[in-house]
Amino acid sequence: MPESTINPADPTPATPDRPRSAVRSLLRLRPYVRPVRARLFGSAGVAVLASCLALLIPLVLKWIVDGPVADRDPSGVWLGGGIMLALGVLEAGLFGIRRWLIARPLAALEARMRADLFRYLQRLPVAFHDRWGSGQLLSRATNDLQICRMFLAFPLVFLVVNTTTIVVGFGILISQRWTLGLLLLAPAVPLVILCSYFESRYSLASRRAQDQIGDLTTLVEESVLGIRIIKAFGRHHSQAVAFREQSRELRGTELRKARLLSDLWMLIIGLPDVALGAALVVGSVQVADGKLSVGTLVAFLSTALALRWPVESMGWLLSISNEAATSVDRVFEVFDTPIPEEHGQQSLPERGGDGIRFTGVRFRYPDAPAGTPDLLTGIDLHIRSGETLALVGATGSGKTSLTALIPRLYEATGGRLTLDGVDTAELTRTALRGLVSTAFEEPTLFSASVRDNVLMGAPGASEADLLRALETAQCDFVHGLPHGVDTQVGEQGLSLSGGQRQRLALARAVVGRPRFLVLDDPLSALDVHTEALVEAALRHVLATTTALVVAHRPSTVMLADRVALLSGGRITAVGTHHELLHSSPEYRHMMSGAQVGAA
């Protein structure tokens, strides 16, 4: 793997500043290649056989020139021509078989890698996704995996085929006339040295280009998803400028790759051509002196010309191999990110336990700069079983971060968090998230039907549960959609209003009758009338669960049995709404501001 680092302020992995071993990188594909290795090796063997058949054609040509042509035997010429035609047809057929052998297995290999990568991305913690741009991940799951498949389908096979063809071909050349053969071999050592020199530089340029493609993909994706904001603020010009700048950087890197490749091709083509020209002159002199037959010289030159493509293509194959190695590095950067171990018990005791209890819980974001104080410096809070507690605090006080600790979207830095007496660290994440249901302030919907979006909260829920959740969240609007609950809501749910999206997200949270419910200001986008209706229906849900509700408005606070005030990284006051209004100036100030804002 290349040496790369992640800058917390920049979601793009840093481009390695020194080359890595392309071979070592490509060998990481072995687990995926192993199931298809028989066909892959078979295709390489068939291609080697086809390529070696092509080397027999100059030998047939030598026989024709020194035999039938010299003896003026037309029948022999026809025979030789027929043999050459048969060899050509057989060669073409073998290359067709090679393609048939690997097309389907390698398509399956790419699909398997993509499925594994997607599954791994789903398991990685939220902190990982906070660091990485979505475009970077998208380019790895599409472009990089496609390059890996193309490498296995063509460059890998033909590196073997061309190397074998060159070795066999030069063996034939030396056997025909060893002095001329050695003359053609003369450029081999300088070519190896020069290829190594260019390969190291090309690999760095290739990595830089693929990272820049990821950055450009991120910019395009964000511009498409945020098109309403861009148009509303007239920012299309600045986005175009940013796109143009990143495109210019990518173009510069691609031009550097092209210059390196052109220099390499010039050497790979030029040096062998010089050697071939020298062999032609020396061979012609030997024919004139009677030391070499015309047929031998024709066969020698024909074999040398047959080797021209295998030699010339090595530079191109090496460049593709370098890009493939870079793609493998980029894909395995994701796979190399450790996933926290999944261990612990699968269930909790029956309902009616201790509720949710925070004991000395501290938290800071994983990517926070060294020396930064904890965001939560010691949370002590008890939400009794069956109780609804409202969490209130100033903007940036850490309310959302605290709620994210309950389903372990982030891991607490210290302290202990228990559900009905069981430490959440002792539960598997799957079991924990089956007990805790969440609705966030910023609702996220998927390109799916209303039904699918809501039932994501409880895949096994019945139709009655679905309708009950929609009614609780006051989602009557879905029945007026073209196909009702089966209507596709579009990407990010942008076909719906903000309030409609928020209500569907709330329905998703309550559809499974969760044991623990975490709501992060779930009613902020609703008008006063709809909010009142939702709150009235929501009271029935809250009566059967243990809930933590982040609140900014007095109306939401009134849903709770008690209220906790978060300030300075700690819970500074707990009580009923009316108790805190009398005892906490800070709470009173916040609620008065909220009332003014609501008015």
Instruction: Judge whether residue 10 has pLDDT over 80.
Output: no
Q: Are 328 and 367 contained in the same domain? A: no
Pair (265, 136) in one structural domain: yes
Three-state secondary-structure class, residue 114: helix
| Same domain assignment for residues 453 and 544 | yes
Mean pLDDT of 410-419: 92
What is the distance between the alpha carbons of residues 176 and 301, in angstroms, rounded to a whole number? 11
- The answer to whether residue 8 scores a pLDDT higher than 90 is no
Helix segments in 307-368, DSSP class H? 308-335
Angle between helices 188-225 and 308-335 (to 10 degrees): 40
- pLDDT the model gives residue 573: 93
pLDDT of residue 182: 79
**Do 284 and 390 lie in a common domain?**
no
Distance, in Å, from the CA atom of 159 to the CA atom of 319, rounded to the nearest integer, reads: 11
Same domain, 296 and 433: no
Inside any domain, residue 14: no
C-alpha angle 384-386-390 in degrees, rounded to nearest 5: 70
> Which pLDDT score, from 0 to 100, does residue 367 have?
79
pLDDT band at 577 (very low <50, low <70, confident <90, very high): very high
| 129 and 183 part of one domain | yes
Q: Which of 285, 305, 335 is the last residue of a domain?
A: 335
219 and 120 both lie in a single domain: yes
Q: To 10 degrees, the CA torsion angle through 509, 514, 516, 521?
A: 20
Mean of pLDDT values over 488-505? 79
> DSSP string of 373-433?
PPSEEEEEEEE-TT-EEEEEE-TTSSHHHHHHHTTTSS--SEEEEEETTEEGGGB-HHHHH
Structural domain of 545: 356-598
Among 134, 132, 331, which Cα is nearest to 219's? 134
Rounded to the nearest 5°, which phi and psi values hold at 179?
Answer: -65, -40
Mean pLDDT of 337-361: 78
Q: Is the pLDDT of residue 2 over 70?
A: no
Higher-confidence residue of 51 and 348: namely 51
Same domain? 186 vs 129: yes
Any alpha helices (H) in 289-414, and if so which ranges? 294-306, 308-335, 399-405
Q: Report the CATH number at residue 531.
A: 3.40.50.300
Q: What is the DSSP letter of 13?
A: B
Confidence check: pLDDT of 261 > 90? no
561 has pLDDT over 90: yes
Asked whether residue 186 is domain-assigned, the answer is: yes
The runs of H, that is alpha helices, within 186-235 are 188-225, 227-232
User: CB-based contacts of 168: which residues, under 8 Å, 6+ apart?
Assistant: 52, 55
CB 359 within 8 A of CB 418: yes
Average pLDDT over residues 363-384: 89
In whole angstroms, give the CA distance from residue 559 to residue 532: 11
Q: Which amino acid is at 470?
A: L
Q: What is the pLDDT of residues 297-317, one digit of tens each?
A: 888 888 888 887 887 777 778
Which tokens sit at 11? 């979601």
Q: Is 368 exposed, middle or buried (0-12, 13-18, 19+ CB in 10 A)?
A: middle
CA–CA separation, 143 and 138 (whole Å): 8
The mean pLDDT of 389-408, rounded to a whole number, is 91
**Count of structural domains within the chain:** 2
Residue 10 domain flag:
no
Helices H / strands E in the chain, number of each: 23, 10
Please, what is the average pLDDT of the chain? 83
pLDDT of residue 531: 80
**What is the Rg, in whole angstroms, of the alpha carbon atoms belonging to the chain?**
35
According to the per-residue pLDDT averaged within each range, which of 93-107, 196-210, 415-429, 478-492 is highest?
415-429
Look at residue 344 and tell me if it is in a domain.
Answer: no
Higher pLDDT, 303 or 466: 466
Please spell the DSSP secondary structure of 514-544, one letter per residue. Answer: -SEEEEESTTTTS-HHHHHHHHHHHHHHHTT
CB 413 within 8 A of CB 402: no
| CATH code, domain with 124 | 1.20.1560.10
Residue 525 within any structural domain of the chain: yes
Rounded CA-CA distance 426/342 in Å is 10
What does the pLDDT read at residue 242?
A: 86
Do residues 421 and 533 both lie within one domain?
yes
**For residues 15 and 424, which has the higher predicted lDDT (pLDDT)?**
424
Please write the tens of the pLDDT for every residue from 523-559. 776 777 888 888 888 888 888 899 999 988 888 888 8
With respect to residue 5, please indicate whether it lies within any of the assigned structural domains. no
What are the CA-CA distances from residue 459 to residues 454, 496, 515 (Å)? 9, 23, 16
Answer yes or no: is 176 within a domain. yes
pLDDT higher for 552 or 10?
A: 552
Residue 116 has pLDDT above 90, yes or no: yes
pLDDT band at 464 (very low <50, low <70, confident <90, very high): very high
Q: Is residue 18 part of a domain?
A: no
Q: What is the pLDDT of residue 16?
A: 52
Q: How far apart are CA 594 and CA 588, in angstroms?
A: 10
Asked whether the whole model's pTM tops 0.85, one would answer no
Distance from C-alpha of 478 to C-alpha of 242, rounded to nearest angstrom: 39
Give the residue from 283, 303, 335 where a domain finishes. Answer: 335
Mark which of 302, 335, 368 sits at the end of a domain. 335
Instruction: Write the pLDDT tens digit of every residue in 129-172.
Output: 888 877 788 888 888 898 898 888 888 888 888 888 888 888 88
pLDDT band at 596 (very low <50, low <70, confident <90, very high): very low
Question: Minimal CA–CA distance to 440: which of 386, 509, 392, 379?
Answer: 509
How many CB atoms sit inside 10 A of residue 10's CB?
Answer: 11
Same domain? For 448 and 320 the reply is no
What is the predicted pLDDT for the residue at 4? 36
Selection from 55, 54, 58, 60 nearest residue 78 by Cα:
60
**Are 361 and 328 in the same domain?**
no
Q: Are residues 402 and 259 in the same domain?
A: no
